[in-house]
């Protein structure tokens, strides 16, 4: 499962804290999608968020097609009032550059799922066919039904619900590699 060249690329693009897993070990559950639908103020507004995405069953099947995936962890102090997309913009941009580098290294199924919701446009068209950044817009793992908490805990990573802005948050992205 581990791929030394990919690991070199991970470090090159600033991702030093990562763990490998099989796509079959990525936990995908319907409740995650329901949280998007019932609790997200932006539900239905983004081209890379539900309901513009495949069903949970299709998402589960999608992840299972990957023998190898990498969970990438970044930590930041939660002491902020900015949207996460502002805090993580550089990290998400590096993730997309990493995806391209890994693809060009011959891993033609490489696909990155960022730590945040898409931030590329002030106002999203809400439709993938009219998306102005189809080359860069990616759903985050939760949009595809990934139970990030269960997935990363199974790898021994810490993840908690934060109660205070002074706490350190652990954020996770996925890079699917094949």
pTM: 0.91
Nearest to 73 by CA among 172, 160, 175, 174: 172
Q: Quote the CA–CA distance of 132 and 124 in Å, as a whole number.
A: 8
CB 106 within 8 A of CB 3: no
In the chain, where are the structural domains located? 4-177
Q: Give the chain's largest Cα–Cα span.
A: 43
Q: 106's torsion region: left (phi>0), alpha (psi -120 to 50) or beta?
A: left
Each residue's pLDDT tens digit, 67-101: 999 999 999 876 655 555 566 788 889 999 999 99
CA atoms within 13 A of residue 58's CA, in its CB half-sphere: 7
Give 8-58 pLDDT, tens digit per residue. Answer: 999 999 999 999 999 999 999 999 999 989 998 888 888 888 988 999 999
């Amino acid at each position: 499962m581990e791929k030394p060249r990919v690991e070199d690329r991970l470090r090159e693009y600033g991702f030093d804290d990562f763990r490998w897993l099989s796509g079959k070990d990525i936990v995908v559950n319907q409740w995650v999608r329901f949280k998007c639908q019932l609790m997200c103020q932006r539900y239905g507004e983004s081209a890379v968020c539900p309901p513009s995405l495949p069903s949970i069953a299709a998402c589960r099947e999608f992840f299972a097609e990957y023998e190898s995936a990498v969970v990438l962890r970044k930590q930041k102090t939660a002491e902020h009032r900015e949207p996460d997309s502002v805090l993580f913009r550089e990290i998400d941009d590096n993730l997309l550059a990493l995806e391209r580098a890994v693809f060009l290294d011959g891993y033609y199924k490489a696909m990155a799922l960022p730590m945040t919701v898409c931030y590329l446009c002030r106002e999203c068209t809400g439709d993938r066919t009219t998306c102005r950044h189809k080359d860069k817009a990616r759903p985050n793992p939760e949009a595809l039904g990934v139970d990030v908490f269960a997935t990363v805990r199974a790898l021994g990573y810490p993840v908690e619900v934060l109660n205070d802005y002074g706490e350190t948050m652990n954020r996770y992205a996925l890079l699917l590699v094949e």
